[in-house]
Amino acid sequence: MLKRIESILFIQTLIWVCLLPLSAQTSINLKSSKSVNNMMEDFVTIGKANENIKAWRIQIITTDDRRQMESAISTFISLHPGVNMDWKHVAPYYQVRVGYYENKNKLMPFLLDLKKTFPSATPVYDQVSKRALVSN
Q: How many residues does the chain have?
A: 136
Q: Which residue has the higher pLDDT, 70 or 25?
A: 70
What is the pLDDT of the chain when averaged over all its residues? 84
Domain with residue 127: its CATH number is 3.30.70.1070
In a domain, 31, yes or no: no
pLDDT at residue 48 in the model: 72
Strand partners, 45: none
Containing structural domain, residue 82: 52-135
pLDDT at 31 > cutoff 60? yes
In a domain, 81, yes or no: yes
Over range 28-37, report the average pLDDT. 80
Q: Which residue has the higher pLDDT, 120 or 48?
A: 120
Asked whether the bond before 123 is cis by omega within 30 degrees of 0, the reply is no
In a domain, 16, yes or no: no
In a domain, 36, yes or no: no
In a domain, 10, yes or no: no
- Please report, as a single letter, which amino acid is at residue 86: D
In a domain, 125, yes or no: yes
In a domain, 13, yes or no: no
- How far lies 8's CA from each of 29, 31, 53, 110, 128, in Å? 15, 12, 22, 34, 26
Percent with pLDDT over 70 in the chain: 78
In a domain, 62, yes or no: yes
- pLDDT, tens digit (0-9, with 9 covering 90-100), for 101-125: 989 999 999 999 999 999 999 999 9
Number of domains in the chain: 1
